[in-house]
Structure 1
């Protein structure tokens, strides 16, 4: 399928690591120009060097996504350098787990401003450029916590529920300008942000997933790129779950048990035939 993304200018916050990095690479493979931002300059420089050496057209800046003025300058630099912004992926996020009564005001501010307020600010910034040319796609990375909150991570869950709600509102208000807005709800993805949780609870986490495996960043990257293309031109205003069938049923182990029983019966039958 031809996605027609060659020459498209794609901005990905937190685009040099984890899901953002995998998505950046997938867009580059399709011929897009990718601009990334993130807090750590060494990650941005490493990504820029690696991708440039592969012949891809990339741009990067180190900034705090909570700093609206810095994001505005970043967007202006992209416009100055490439002349447009076609796709914007709100990917940057933070998480912290502990009892809700132990969270400090500073921790509340960091999580809310990074996960929710930054999505609001980034979308307002990029939407203005997209509205001028009456085209664009905005992808918001939400979380399964937006659907079922996490004990120990109440602020994170609340911000992601907010992101999912904003996705619908943005999609409606920007539809007259031919701008689509789609949310992504990842399942348990094997990235740095989930590393500790996976190390401590891997078997339990997998028990809720129909496909019985953790997701990888690349499992999200390809669908995100597809949804950003004209091939998904009538899709807007909703969340796409990429979870491996997480909580598709209450008893995700049952189909696997049936499969194992059938294979045992088949092996016994084949043995009898011999």
Structure 2
């Protein structure tokens, strides 16, 4: 299937490792120009060079997502350097699972405000793209933990807030053809990631989590990326306000 992304431009925050990296790579493979940000400048520049190897334009900056002016400045610079924006993917996360005030602040500043700030900065570009082509997209990477909990933690509630936020944006901007959707992964395994570290440090617990999933495994970053890029593409032009679970059926809820 041609996703009709060739020549379009996408931003991916938290874009050099794991899910974010796979999302950016898939956009580039589909012929889209890509901008990425992350905290490590060397990793950003090395990845930008790799993305250009797909024959597309690429841009990147080292950005602390919690630094509002730096984050919005990156979005503005990416839109100007790449000639506009068709897609914004908010993927960066604090990835803290505790309940301390510091944990709540980190999840709010990076996950919630990171999404809000990038969307507000990208909106003029997205509206212009939608006016020209009939479609622009904002996709947030949330988590199955938005609806699954076993204790008081900052992670799940902030991920749930992102789903609520996206639904509101979807309704607010539908008339201008700017869509907003969410992809909620379950457990995702990659080297250096949360579950990759658990596999190394607590193999017994890791095996318990594998057995919890009816598929008998965890997702790959590429599988999450495929869902994100499809929702972001013009092929999904009538899909907005959705929350797509990609969890291998580990959750038991019915996703009405």
The answer to whether TM tops 0.5 is: yes
Change (3 A) 1:76 1:97: closer
Query: Residue 66 of structure 1 aligns with which residue?
Result: 66
Deviations 1:67-99 (A, max 9, x none): 22112211221222122100000000022234x
Query: Residue 155 of structure 1 aligns with which residue?
Result: 154
Aligned equivalents of 1:113, 1:233: Cα separation in 2: 30
Q: Is the 8 A contact 1:34 1:59 kept in 2?
A: yes
User: Offset of 1:248 from its aligned partner?
Assistant: 4.3
1:80 maps to 2:80: yes
User: Offset of 1:53 from its aligned partner?
Assistant: 4.0
User: Offset of 1:106 from its aligned partner?
Assistant: 3.4
Q: What TM-score do the two structures reach when normalised by structure 2?
A: 0.89
Query: Residue 51 of structure 1 aligns with which residue?
Result: 51
Q: What TM-score do the two structures reach when normalised by structure 1?
A: 0.83
Query: Residue 30 of structure 2 aligns with which residue?
Result: 30
Deviations 1:141-177 (A, max 9, x none): 000110112536x101111011111111111111011
Q: Is the 8 A contact 1:210 1:248 kept in 2?
A: no
Aligned equivalents of 1:214, 1:181: Cα separation in 2: 26
Q: Is the 8 A contact 1:9 1:34 kept in 2?
A: yes
The unaligned stretches of length 5 or more in structure 1 are 250-274
Q: Is the 8 A contact 1:208 1:247 kept in 2?
A: no
Q: Is the 8 A contact 1:150 1:157 kept in 2?
A: no
Q: Please point out which of 87, 112, 127 is paired with 1:131.
A: 127
Whose radius of gyration is greater, 1 or 2?
Answer: 1
User: Offset of 1:9 from its aligned partner?
Assistant: 0.4
Q: How many residues align?
A: 244
Where do residues 1-274 of structure 1 align in structure 2 (5 Å cutoff)?
A: 1-98=1-98, 100=99, 103=100, 105-134=101-130, 135-151=135-151, 154-191=153-190, 192-199=193-200, 200=202, 201-248=205-252
Higher mean C-alpha displacement, 2-11 vs 205-214: 205-214
Deviations 1:11-38 (A, max 9, x none): 0001111100011111111100010001
Change (3 A) 1:190 1:109: same
- Aligned-pair Cα RMSD in Å: 1.8
The unaligned stretches of length 5 or more in structure 2 are none
Q: Is the 8 A contact 1:210 1:247 kept in 2?
A: no
Deviation above 4 Å: which 4+ runs of structure 1? none
User: Offset of 1:247 from its aligned partner?
Assistant: 3.0
